[in-house]
Amino acid sequence: MSNYFYVAPEQLIRDRAEFAQKGIARGRSLVGAIYDTGVLLVAENPSASLNKISEVYDRIAFAGVGKYNEFDRLREAGIRWADGTGFTYSREDVDARALANYYAQHLGDMFTEGQKPLEVEILVAQLGGKIRPTKLYRIAYEGTITDETRYAVLGGDAETIKGRFATSEEQIHPLGQTLKNAVEALAGPDRKIDVTDLEVGILEDRGNRRTFVRLTDAEVSELLS
Amino acid sequence: MGLPLFDAHNDPGPSFFHFAEATGITTPTMAGTAESPHATTVIAVRFNAGVVMVGDRQATGHYIASRDVRKIEPADRFTAIAISGTAARGIEFVKMAQLSFEHYEKMTDSALSLEGKANYLSPIIQRNNLSSPLIVMPLLAGWDSSHLVGRIFEYDGAGGCYERFDFATIGSGSPFAESALRLGFRTDLDREAALELGALALYEAGDNDPSTGGPDFVRNLFPMMVTITDEGFQELSTDEVGARFRAINDRRTQSGGVAGGTLR
């Protein structure tokens, strides 16, 4: 019979939280913000193919930071959940709140019961329409779900970046201005992020059922100029 | 449904069909003898800048179940799917195809090739048709964005997928439509000629096959006519289709109910 050393639950939770935070802090951060006609997601991402931002459904997008394989698995699960729900019921029954809750439950379970907590933080964004409001749900590594009113910052340096972004985003701006503010907040005062190191996606009504669009480097450059 | 997570070795990948089967979203096919509306004529004709598709609108059981069924649907912007056979299964099949193509795109961040889409449907057709009398026979046509050409894929009852370089037909009116197409098809058809040939072939099928609905001037209901080109899936307006069939009808009236010596 093996011996288990007693570890106080407070200590266990602290250790796990510290472990997850460390993992998340290793990666670059991400900003999600509501602008006048849509939702902007912008991540600092040197890879052009390993995405942090993704389409989930007609009006829902996903963004994740931290360990790529872990949040990508959650992204895939989200797409499957959304397509499965839309197939079983109707496209209009696919709601970001329900998805955010499932994510929160899973992350919470992994945090307390898993071999190790997931080293990720994710954002579920929903573009409002006739039947649902525009929403940003931020879900932390331990399952805490936050309904952010106008913007959310995920990643290691989130508090600092959020502080910078908050000063420039006192009101809702058009896409170009919001993107500029977000990129400046991500970069900080003495750094400039190259356009090729940015991943940008938006949810916006353009007359199509699917509202998610990935912006190309050229489009991002033009918006930032 | 909870959050669908899989182990790496059980992961269904970017295929919605396999995911749906793994989680029980789709019910397994079972043998049965239920009577359900069926029969059709849908035509696909290749021309120099894409594909024209024409389909009748009638659902037939022991009587006419519906006169305004849509048997051609866009599967995505550059692909069309037409169905014949059991209506219920056909509608589910179209839904599954539409969702699968989009699902793949979202999962992998890249769209399936047209040939990939055509092959993807084979096992779905096979699984349905070999285990149930509720047969579904689809037709896939699209604009191939990587090879810049319109392409048509037809299937046999067991799901075999065959590319056709001229034209293809499905449904009970096929023999009549096929005869008209074989007489009128040329490799250098343009859009207008392909539309005209497609309309004529469907008129023939509607004229001879009791389960194919021809133009309905009383209700102003006409066969569906679509083009798939580099501009995507485009459906012709009712007025445009109506005028085309009215012209054919007038010519046939003048020549005593037959084409009158030439394909027109």
Contact B1 A105 (CB under 8 A): no
Q: Which of A73, A74, A87, A93 to probe the B interface (max B CBs under 10 A)?
A: A87
* pLDDT above 80: residue B33: no
Contact B99 A81 (CB under 8 A): no
Contact A77 B102 (CB under 8 A): no
Query: pLDDT tens for residues A126-164?
Result: 999 999 999 999 999 999 999 999 999 999 889 999 999
Q: What is the mean pLDDT of residues B136-163?
A: 95
Angle at the Cα of A56 (from A52 to A61), degrees rounded to 5?
60
Q: Which residues of A touch B19 (CB under 8 A)?
A: 80, 83-84
User: Could you tell me which residues are beta bridge partners of residue B224?
Assistant: B55
Please indicate, yes or no, if residue B26 is contained in any of the structural domains: no
SS3 A105: helix
Which pair of tokens denotes residue A180? Answer: 């500029």
ipTM: 0.93
Residue range(s) defining the domain that contains residue B218: 37-254
Q: Which residues of B touch A51 (CB under 8 A)?
A: 109
Residue B224 and residue B72 in contact, taking contact as beta carbons nearer than 8 Å? yes
Q: Is A25 on the interface with B (CB under 8 A)?
A: no
Q: Is A213 on the interface with B (CB under 8 A)?
A: no
Please indicate, yes or no, if residue B25 is contained in any of the structural domains: no
Q: Which residues of B touch A206 (CB under 8 A)?
A: none
pLDDT classification of B26: cutoffs 50, 70, 90? confident
Q: What's the pLDDT score for residue A109? A: 94
Contact B103 A54 (CB under 8 A): no
Minimal Cα distance from A89: which residue of B?
B25
Which pair of tokens denotes residue A9? Answer: 């639950």
The neighbour count for residue B167, using CB atoms within 10 Å, is 26
Q: Say how many Å lie between the first and final Cα of chain B, rounded.
A: 56
pTM confidence score: 0.92
pLDDT classification of B212: cutoffs 50, 70, 90? very high
Q: Is A19 on the interface with B (CB under 8 A)?
A: no
Q: Using CB atoms, which residue from B20, B102, B109 is nearest to A51?
A: B109
Q: Is A55 on the interface with B (CB under 8 A)?
A: yes
Choose the weakest-confidence range: A65-74, A149-158, B255-264: B255-264
Q: Is A87 on the interface with B (CB under 8 A)?
A: yes
d(CA B185, CA B147): 23
Residue environment code for B172-186, b if the CB has 16+ CB neighbours within 10 A, otherwise e = bbbebbbebbeebbe
Q: Identify the DSSP state of A215.
A: P
Residue B125 and residue B118 in contact, taking contact as beta carbons nearer than 8 Å? no
* pLDDT above 70: residue B71: yes
Q: Which residues of B touch A (CB under 8 A)?
A: 1-5, 16, 19-20, 23, 25, 95-96, 99, 102-103, 106-107, 109
d(CA B204, CA B168): 15
Structural domain count of chain B: 1
Q: Is A206 on the interface with B (CB under 8 A)?
A: no
* pLDDT above 70: residue B36: no
Q: Using CB atoms, which residue from A73, A102, A210 is nearest to B2?
A: A102
Residue B40 bears catalytic tag = yes
Please indicate, yes or no, if residue B14 is contained in any of the structural domains: no
* Three-state SS annotation for chain B: CCCCCCCHHHCCCCCHHHHHHHHCCCCCCCCCCCCCCECCCEEEEEECCEEEEEECCCEECCCEEECCCCCEEEEECCEEEEEEECHHHHHHHHHHHHHHHHHHHHHHCCCCCHHHHHHHHHHHHHHHHCCCCCCEEEEEEEEECCCCEEEEEEECCCCCEEEECCEEEECCCHHHHHHHHHHHCCCCCCHHHHHHHHHHHHHHHHHHCCCCCCCECCCCECCEEEEEECCEEEECCHHHHHHHHHHHHHHHHHCCCCCCCCCC
Backbone φ, ψ for residue B96 (5° rounding): -65, -40
Contact B25 A54 (CB under 8 A): no
Query: pLDDT tens for residues A96-124?
Result: 999 999 999 999 999 999 999 999 999 99
| Percent of the residues in chain A that have a pLDDT greater than 70, as a whole number | 99
Q: Which residues of B touch A105 (CB under 8 A)?
A: 3
Give the burial class of B157: count Cβ atoms within 10 A of its Cβ; 0-12 exposed, 13-18 middle, 19 or more buried: middle
d(CA B8, CA B13): 9
Q: Is A77 on the interface with B (CB under 8 A)?
A: yes
CB contacts < 8 A (A, B): 51
Structural domains of chain A in order of their starting residue, each with its CATH number: 9-224 (3.60.20.10)
Q: What is the mean pLDDT of residues B223-241?
A: 97
Contact B4 A103 (CB under 8 A): no
The neighbour count for residue B9, using CB atoms within 10 Å, is 5
Query: pLDDT tens for residues B72-89?
Result: 999 999 999 999 988 888
Query: pLDDT tens for residues B99-143?
Result: 999 999 999 999 999 999 999 999 999 988 887 777 889 999 999
Please indicate, yes or no, if residue B167 is contained in any of the structural domains: yes
Backbone φ, ψ for residue B54 (5° rounding): -130, 135
CA atoms within 13 A of residue B44's CA, in its CB half-sphere: 31
Minimal Cα distance from B107: which residue of A?
A76
Give the burial class of B207: count Cβ atoms within 10 A of its Cβ; 0-12 exposed, 13-18 middle, 19 or more buried: middle
| Percent of the residues in chain B that have a pLDDT greater than 70, as a whole number | 95
Q: Is A13 on the interface with B (CB under 8 A)?
A: no
CA distances (Å), B230 to each of B47, B157, B192, in order? 12, 30, 16
Q: What's the pLDDT score for residue B62? A: 81
CA distances (Å), A4 to each of A1, A7, A10, B181, in order? 10, 9, 17, 80
Question: Nearest CA to B185 among B152, B148, B230?
Answer: B152
Q: What is the CATH number of the domain that holds B125?
A: 3.60.20.10
Between B63 and A106, where is the model more confident? A106
Please indicate, yes or no, if residue B263 is contained in any of the structural domains: no
Minimal Cα distance from B102: which residue of A?
A83
Q: What's the pLDDT score for residue A125? A: 98
d(CA A53, CA A173): 21
d(CA A173, CA A106): 34
Query: pLDDT tens for residues A210-222?
Result: 999 999 999 999 9
Please indicate, yes or no, if residue B179 is contained in any of the structural domains: yes
Give Rg (Cα) of chain B: 19
Angle at the Cα of A26 (from A21 to A32), degrees rounded to 5?
80
| Percent of the residues in chain B that have a pLDDT greater than 90, as a whole number | 73
Please indicate, yes or no, if residue B12 is contained in any of the structural domains: no
* pLDDT above 80: residue B54: yes
* pLDDT above 80: residue A1: no
d(CA A150, CA A35): 8
Q: What is the mean pLDDT of residues B181-203?
A: 97
Please indicate, yes or no, if residue B73 is contained in any of the structural domains: yes
* pLDDT above 70: residue A177: yes
CA atoms within 13 A of residue B30's CA, in its CB half-sphere: 5
Q: Using CB atoms, which residue from A49, A84, A103 is nearest to B4?
A: A84
Q: Is A106 on the interface with B (CB under 8 A)?
A: yes
Q: Using CB atoms, which residue from B4, B25, B95 is nearest to A77?
A: B4
Contact B103 A86 (CB under 8 A): no
Q: What's the pLDDT score for residue B254? A: 93
Q: What is the mean pLDDT of chain B?
A: 92
* pLDDT above 80: residue B34: no
* pLDDT above 90: residue B202: yes
- Among residues B26, B27, B40, B187, the one annotated as catalytic is B40
CA distances (Å), B6 to each of B3, B12, B56, in order? 10, 8, 43
| Percent of the residues in chain A that have a pLDDT greater than 90, as a whole number | 92
Which pair of tokens denotes residue B27? Answer: 């019910």
Q: What is the mean pLDDT of chain A?
A: 95
Which pair of tokens denotes residue B72? Answer: 């051609």
Contact B106 A84 (CB under 8 A): no
Q: What's the pLDDT score for residue B88? A: 82
d(CA B222, CA B54): 10
